[in-house]
Structure 1
Amino acid sequence: MKTYIVEERINSHLNFIESIAKNSEFILSYIPYQVERGKNEVTLRFTRYLLFSFRDKFRMEGIVNIKGMSTIILKSEKGNKFEIFISEKEDKEGKINVNVAIKYEGEKEWIVSKYLHEIAGSLINGIKKESEKAYEITTTANFSQNLSKLSFITKLLMKSRLIKADELDIAKGQIVPIITDLIQQYLRYQLIYISGVSTYESFRLLFVNGELKGTYVNIEGQEGFKEEDLNKISGHFKINVYVALEPKAILEGIENESS
């Protein structure tokens, strides 16, 4: 059994890198030497000296994240197994040190072990590519007016996914701390859209990198577009929280539409 480790210093957000490391589709997409791919499974083929080869189908058993380290296990019906460990830590300059370690245990280790460095390298390069691409997202725009348009909301929802649905009682003047608590666990996502609906009132909020970039409030037909308008909200609300894993494309589309 052999283990291979690679390290890279990446200019990105720690929360975003952590979200990538817990994304099974991302992990599978950056594993090289694939000959077949299915949902949560991948068939790999390795050769050596052009004469010897190894091929097996591996299924992802899950991703466990504990204290900044993600552990990914790929296992075949024959008992062959890859273990991948991804850890992230922010340094004093705000950059993220990412370590990827991989080990293989099973048949024909003498073949597979020669490819561990390429698998680890591909994964860390994928993390670097995706996270630095996301880090480029910056915007000074305010999207409050957009949130009042049904056409805009429809496009936004088509490119997002629902991550939480809940019902909350909100007292007047108390919505801001409630929303702050609500989104804390989702700050790894760079774009968060929240909608709330009651019998006579509704609100829509858009967060980019954890910062409120759009506010829309409707109270019995009276519209508001400022953060302080949220303090007028009260009642029993159905709350939906949506996130986007590729926010850059969404924001570019919004800003082009607004210009």
Structure 2
Amino acid sequence: MAERFRLALLCWLLPAALGAQVRAVASFDRAQVEAGDTAVLRVQVAGVQAAPQRVSLGAWLPTVPSDHLRTRSAWRRTGEYWVQTISLLLLDTGRLTLPPVLVHLQVGEPVPTNPVEIAVVAPAVPADIGAMAPLRDIRRHPAAWYDDYWPAALPVLAAGLLALWWWRRRRRARPVPSTAPAPEMPRPSARELALQQLDALAQQKPWTSPEGVLEYYAALSWIVREFLQAQYGFPALEMTTAEIAQTLKRTAAPWADEAQRLLQQADWVKFANAHPKSRAHEHWLDVARRLCSH
């Protein structure tokens, strides 16, 4: 009898234990956008084998209407988690604090993400706006004598246009001088782009609020993985931290251990609910800067 009771208790507790391992993380690709621009929301889900069904943005409808949803990617597997990106059009200026969204799974209850924040600023105003001439009122002109004769002039105008077309057709075509295309602006390198993103993250300081710590480490991990993928040519965004560490060791990079420790720290915060000390946040930001400077 006792053995049956223990077996039943184990069967009852096992789904709850497995469900507790499922974790969803949401973060924006930028901390600040201009009004009228699109921001990309990245949703990561760990602890499930099958792809989630959908992400419900119903909690955001008072702030982000449904017609502001631009694109929604398919779920893709990147290492130990599923990732979906959603692009949104943001129009209202101010600092938006958006509540958690629900990720509906194939089996079980929906999983909430963390709250996210983003700053929406007004577009920059030209510096010489004060030099613009004032708008003038509409000036109405009196009717002219020729206003009543323009219908009769239409056949004459058509005949003139036909004669001009015939004359141009009989002329010998002149070669059109080719113009050199305008030089393209040089695109920033992977190092420059990563350092710009890290500087923006440092100015925003999302770790100063409890709900921003998770978003900070998710963004930090993403920036470093994007840099490694663009700079060294291996799919870091689709690899686990262990796979990235093995790849870097094969390249004999002297900073491979430091990169592994940074990505492991971010994984512990995102998926193990770790709480680093406050002085550790800027330390890992400095580590990311050193990695992206190589």
Please give the TM-score of this superposition, normalised by the length of structure 1. Answer: 0.25
Higher-Rg member (1/2): 2
Bigger share in helix = 2
